[in-house]
Amino acid sequence: MKNVFSKTSLSAILLAMIILPAFTSCKKDKKPTLRDEIVGEWKIQSFTVDGVELKGSIVLSSKMEFESYTGSNGDFEWSVNYIDGTSEIESGDYTIDVEDGEVTLENEGGDQLKFDVEINGDKLELTGVLDGERYELEADRD
């Protein structure tokens, strides 16, 4: 009788050791979306308009911050410090079109700016047209 119980217990333990890892490995790893990846602070390294680099000649520094979505959008803040000592800060809401890889920034005045977005690790690239001029911004996660 003792042998049967031991064999049954041993079989149950072995079966559990085989099955339990299968349950934990069935869980799918959630791949971050563009909406998740953009969240954080980004320090602008390159700021070009129509192919002309403004960083270092007109723009001293620039930084963008994207907060996590709350509801249907998130909050952003974009600061630009100019060589002449002046600065600008734009803030408002942003939305992400994951399918098209675009972010739309809408400031508190209702003006909108749409960028194509590419994120590769800690590198962000934004490209878009504003008032007929092509803007390209390259940033590193700060």
Residue 98 lies in a domain: yes
Pair of tokens at residue 83: 């060589």
The whole domain housing 87 covers 34-141
Residue 9 scores a pLDDT above 80: no
- d(C-alpha 100, C-alpha 11), whole Å: 53
Inside any domain, residue 82: yes
Is 24 inside a domain boundary?
Answer: no
**Residue 124: inside a domain:** yes
List Cα–Cα distances, 93 to 30, 72, 74, in angstroms.
Answer: 25, 10, 5
pTM for the model stands at 0.77
* CA pair distance 56, 38, nearest whole angstrom: 25
Residue 82 pLDDT > 60, yes or no? yes
Tell me whether residue 48 is exposed, middle or buried, using C-beta atoms within 10 angstroms of its C-beta: 0 to 12, 13 to 18, 19 or more: middle
CATH number for the domain spanning 53: value is 2.40.128.120
Core vs surface per residue 12-21: b (16+ CB within 10 A) or e? eeeeeeeeee
Q: Is residue 105 part of a domain?
A: yes
Task: Mention every residue, 6+ apart, whose C-beta is less than 8 A from residue 135.
Answer: 47, 48, 49, 115, 126, 127, 128, 129
What are 99-135's pLDDT values in tens digits? 999 999 999 999 999 999 999 999 999 999 988 999 9
Overall domain count for the chain: 1
Asked whether residue 135 is domain-assigned, the answer is: yes
Give a yes or no: residue 57 inside a domain. yes
Instruction: Tell me if 54 is assigned to some domain.
Output: yes
